[in-house]
Structure 1
Amino acid sequence: MPFEDLSIMDYLSRIVDILLVWYVIYKLIMVIRGTKAVQLLKGIFVIIIVRFLSEFFNLHTLGWMMEQAITWGFLAIIIIFQPELRRALEQLGRGRIFARGGIQEEEEQKRKVAAIREAVSYMAKRRIGALISIERETGLGDYIETGIPLNSTLTSQLLINIFIPNTPLHDGAVVIQKNHITAAACYLPLSESPFISKDLGTRHRAAVGISEVTDAFTIVVSEETGNISVTQHGELYHDLSSDEFEQLLEKELVTGTKVKYTSSSLWKRKGKKERG
């Protein structure tokens, strides 16, 4: 139907239709955010871009290969994205997929930071060894499967209780997803980097190891000294003070938080930065 023949109601219905489609797409992206599906989606976009480029430059063989990948891609998506699709359908059934807002998310992040800060401070003072890995963009599902599922709301009391010595779950890592302790006693990959000090034990090597293969933010409390360390992006920040740890935690986990560093760098002044 030509545009000039459309009524005002037709215009409005089409605008609403477009806005609803964009909103649904946005919410679906929010559902898969923090899982490995994000990386897989990037791969799909690369295939589509290569397909258009091969057609533009008349690369027939490459174009045929990309065409086959796209043709069979729908079936592959169902298989590869099975956990994410199930999760989206479950949230839709509970009415949660359209329920979250930015303010809510920031408040949850602040509560998470407060619970982790309180637990780590308690354990550091009493030299209770701990290994806590916080999921970010890259999913930690493979490592969660190696531990004991908890799926519990994150509280400082529960986090402390897990790492009390000689309890069934104190060995291994706790994995936190959003505001939940998803699993405990998880096995993380050990780094084989020769740059890690020989004075540091298995917990530190595991923390560096997970930071080398994911973007997780991982916290270590030393059982021997009570020192607090943090790993991210393959680097180990060792022997942080309580203030340094709190600032870094808020900077990395709370949306929109601005941290003011002193003229002498936060890490140079106290933390010892070691490459992983």
Structure 2
Amino acid sequence: MLERIRIVLIGTSHPGNIGGTARAMHNMGLEDLALVAPRCEPLTADTVSRASGADHIVHGARTVETLEQAVADCTLVVGASARSRTLPWPMITPRELGGRLTEELAGPESRIALIFGREDSGLSNAELQRCHAHVHIPTNPEFSSLNLAAAVQVLAYESRLAWLATQETSHRSDADTPQPLASHEELEHYFAHLERTLIAIGFHDPAMPRQLMPRLRRLTLRSRPERMELNILRGILTATEKQATGEKPAGSGEPDPPA
């Protein structure tokens, strides 16, 4: 279970924080680290020093340019955020996150990404909108700033507690195995398809979005569609596009028009 939890750091500016994150991860049995567009050299003497024996995690970390690349195969993406947003998003505590992990990782293809933002500004609104949920660490409101590695440690600890709780439970039967959830990459393809279709049928004007696509994102991400369900939705969109352009949908059963 723990091997399918990925820690993602975006725009990290200090190599010591990367090392401290690796140490926090290794303490709790997490090994999968991804770095998105780091603003510093990830592997330095300071990194190794702060890692305190966990620098193998930094050596094995994957460095990518975008959040999408880091979480493309993930079925649950959770962003760490301390800021309120004009468009409310599902917000959970670290303990609630831990309570969800066993169910979220029950499927063999399930994978979770825990996203942490820049030390000075956190995650952007666009990045937070790509998360299924936001997790907030309830710190002292009079001194709420957490070091990056400390924030990772809190969520890694809750993840380990959830894993320990599964060690005495029996394995699920085949009949109880859930269907694979749609991955982040599949969802992004769906959102692009949805927007294209809404424009084609005149429902959506990209010049005056008025939060339409973010609200539809929130609705879809909240529902946690399975891969098969998402395929059905994309089939509906394809048929809608064909109707909008006058092309007969495949399998409609209608006779061909006379020549």
Shorter-chain TM-score range: under 0.3
Compute the TM-score of the two structures, normalised by the length of structure 1: 0.22
- Relative to its length, the structure with more strand (as a share) is 1
